[in-house]
Every structure is written in C-alpha cells, then in structure tokens.
C-alpha cells in the first residue's frame, strides 16, 4: 500500500494586520492545500518594505481568531513575522510554502520596493522557502476577495508542485472586479510615483505633512504588470532579491577610477586634494 503524502506546511503572513479581511480569505484558500500557520502583525504595517525591528523587543503571542487555525500576532514588521515563524515555530524545519497577503491595494511595478506584503514574501525566499505575494486593487476594508480565490489556489498548487528557482518568488496582483480574463506572466513595468507632501495645520497651529502622489507609467509595453492589470488580467511577475545590475558590471570595469592599488604603484595620494605625489 502506497504511503499517503503528508500535507504541506504553509506559512501565511501579511502587512495589513492579523484582523484584515485579506488574510482571512488567504487562510481559507490555504486550508484546502495544507497545514496552515499564521504569523501577522498586530497592527497595519503597510509600506514598511524590508524593515526589521532591532532597537526594541518584539512581542509574539498566540491568538484564537479562526477555529482550527494556529495563529500568532507579532508587534514587529512583516519581515519580523517570517523570521520569528522560521526560528520559533518551525524551528528550522521550514514550511513548504510562504504566502503573503491578500494585500488591500496593488503591489505592481515600483510598489514592490515599498511593500510590506512583498517584503514578507522576499524574506521567505531568502530562507529558501517557495514564496508568493498576493495583492488586490482595492484599498477598502470590506474589499471583495472571493473571485481571487480560484486563481490563488491554482498558482499556489503550481508552486507546491514545481517549486521555484533559488532566489525567486512570485508577485501576483489582481485587478478590481470579478470579470478576470486569465493570468499573464509579466515583467515589472517601468513606473513610479510622482510624490507630493500636502501641508496641513494641526490644532496647535503647527504644520504637518501628508504624503500624496500620482502614479506615472513610462512603460508602453504590453508585457508588463501594469498593462495586464489595466486589461483585466491577473499579473504574475517572477521577482528576485539579487539587486545587482549585472548589465552594468562591464561598463564600470571600463571606467578609469585613477586610484591604483598598493601592488600596482608606489605613488602616494595627498589626502587633502587627491593629487598624485610620486
């Protein structure tokens, strides 16, 4: 008799906080795929990027929000949640999958840099855990995530089946609305935020500033995440955390920096003006 394969262990994290509607929907999908452990911030941590807590203690407590689900709230960042899960819950026996989200709001294009949702998934990938970040184009607290579930299940099943290349994770974004045309494998669009800081006055007549901005897309390609989302597709972008600009190495090797190593020259350089004294 063939031994039945063990159900995979799945770590669920987010940046919107442990009570967010998005993570509840993600848990509901993952419960069909494996054994779920949830570690999430005790309050919203959007825009935290890959921040970690180093100057103060981190609180880490078990909670009982959904029947039959092992859950912990964390006072730290989304990345802290992954680190604590790996070290204190799984104790080195790493989960088979790490999923982050479902974020309230898109993390397409340059947003991946700032996103706490994606940084949690990146941390999972750094730990060599197959990892996925999921985001929906709806910032509201009562966003409808129901129509994203079949796609999340399918994408997660494929990752569990095939794995991902080392140093790679998936950034998955959903357009708002339930008339999705399918999935597009994309590249990250060349886009950015044109930011402004709106000045306001507090009750004590002191100025404070509120970040606002307009999203600018400079990329007209039809193979980008921005294009896919604008045309009703789920965008899937393979992301890596090696930030080396490999194409620029040859260029830099051709520059003359004017400073020779000690084995190449006996000339000395004046610390005051950088002039050769040899």
Label residue 198 exposed, middle or buried (CB < 10 Å: 0-12, 13-18, 19+). Answer: exposed
Average the pLDDT over 242-253 and give the result.
94
Mean pLDDT score, 90-101: 94
CA distance 183 to 235: 6
* pLDDT exceeds 60 at position 45: yes
pLDDT of residue 143: 92
Least confident of 91-95, 129-133, 198-202, 266-270: 266-270
Share of the chain above pLDDT 70, in %: 91
pLDDT digit string (tens) for 152-207?
A: 999 999 999 999 999 999 999 999 988 899 999 999 988 877 778 899 999 999 99
Q: How many CB atoms neighbour CB 272 within 10 A?
A: 6
Q: Is the pLDDT of residue 116 over 80?
A: yes
pLDDT at 96 over 50: yes
Instruction: List domains and CATH numbers for the chain.
Output: 9-189+221-246 (3.40.1210.10)
Element (H, E) at 225: helix 225-230
pLDDT at 277 over 50: no
Confidence of residue 54 (pLDDT cuts 50, 70, 90): very high
At 214 the pLDDT is 77
**What is the torsional sign of CA 139, 179, 113, 82?**
positive
Question: What would the pLDDT profile of 66-75 be if each residue is shown by its tens digit?
Answer: 988 999 999 9
Partners of 70 in the beta sheet? Answer: 37
Element spanning 101, H or E = strand 97-104
Exposure string of 80-90, with b = 16+ CB inside 10 Å and e = fewer, is bbbbbbbeebb
Q: Which residues touch 87 (CB under 8 Å, ≥6 apart)?
A: none
Is the pLDDT reported for residue 226 higher than 90? Answer: yes
Instruction: Specify the pairing of strand 168-174 against strand 131-136.
Output: parallel
């Amino acid at each position: 008799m063939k031994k039945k394969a063990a159900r995979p262990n799945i770590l669920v994290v987010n940046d919107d906080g442990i009570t967010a509607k998005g993570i509840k929907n993600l848990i509901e999908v993952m419960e069909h795929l494996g054994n779920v452990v949830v570690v999430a911030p005790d309050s919203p941590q959007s825009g935290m990027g890959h921040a970690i807590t180093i100057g103060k203690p981190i609180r880490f407590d078990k909670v009982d929000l959904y029947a039959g689900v092992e859950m912990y709230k964390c006072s730290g960042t989304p990345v802290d949640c992954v680190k604590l899960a790996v070290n204190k819950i799984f104790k080195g026996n790493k989960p088979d999958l790490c999923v982050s989200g479902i974020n309230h709001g898109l993390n397409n294009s340059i947003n991946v840099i700032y996103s706490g949702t994606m940084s949690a998934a990146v941390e999972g990938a750094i730990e060599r855990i197959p990892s996925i970040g999921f985001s929906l184009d709806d910032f509201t607290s009562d966003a409808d995530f129901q129509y994203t579930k079949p796609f999340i299940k399918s994408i997660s099943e494929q990752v569990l089946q095939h794995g991902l290349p080392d140093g790679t994770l998936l950034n998955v974004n959903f357009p708002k609305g339930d008339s999705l045309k399918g999935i597009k494998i994309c590249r990250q669009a060349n886009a950015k935020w044109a930011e402004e800081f709106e000045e306001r006055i507090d009750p004590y007549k002191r100025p404070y500033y509120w970040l606002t901005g307009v999203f600018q897309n400079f990329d007209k390609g039809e193979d980008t995440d921005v294009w896919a989302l604008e045309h009703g597709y789920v965008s899937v972008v393979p992301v890596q955390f090696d930030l080396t600009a490999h194409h620029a190495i040859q260029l830099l090797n051709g520059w003359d920096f004017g400073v020779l190593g000690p084995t190449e020259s006996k000339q000395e350089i004046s610390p005051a003006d950088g002039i050769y004294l040899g």
